Amino acid sequence: MKHQRREAWFNLETANQAVAAIKARDVYVSLVSVGWDATLARFKPSPLVKAEICTLGEFLDDVLARGHLSERTVRIYATKLRKIVADIAKVDAGARGKAKNAKFDYVNGGREAWLEKVNGRSLAVLNIDSVTAWRNTYVARAVGCF
Same domain as 85, residue 15: no
Q: Quick check: is 73 in a domain?
A: yes
Q: Please state, in angstroms and rounded to a whole number, the distance separating the CA atoms of residues 121 and 135.
A: 19
Same domain as 134, residue 66: yes
Same domain as 119, residue 72: yes
On whether the CB atoms of residues 76 and 88 are closer than 8 A, the answer is no
Average confidence (pLDDT) over 12-20? 87
Q: Which domain holds residue 124?
A: 56-142
pLDDT in tens, 39-86: 888 888 776 666 678 999 999 999 999 988 999 999 999 999 999 999
Count the domains in the chain: 2
pLDDT in tens, 78-134: 999 999 999 999 988 777 777 777 778 788 888 888 899 999 999 999 999 999 999
Same domain as 93, residue 29: no
Predicted local confidence at residue 50, as pLDDT = 60
Predicted local confidence at residue 145, as pLDDT = 66
Alpha helices by DSSP H, 1-146: 17-34, 36-43, 56-66, 71-89, 98-101, 110-119, 128-142
Predicted local confidence at residue 48, as pLDDT = 64
Whether the pLDDT of residue 146 is over 70: the answer is no
Task: Find the Cα–Cα–Cα–Cα dihedral 58, 64, 65, 67, rounded to 10°.
Answer: 110
Rounded to 10°, the helix 56-66/71-89 angle is 170
Predicted local confidence at residue 5, as pLDDT = 85
State the DSSP code for 125: G
Q: Please state, in angstroms and rounded to a whole number, the distance separating the CA atoms of residues 101 and 110.
A: 8
Predicted local confidence at residue 63, as pLDDT = 93
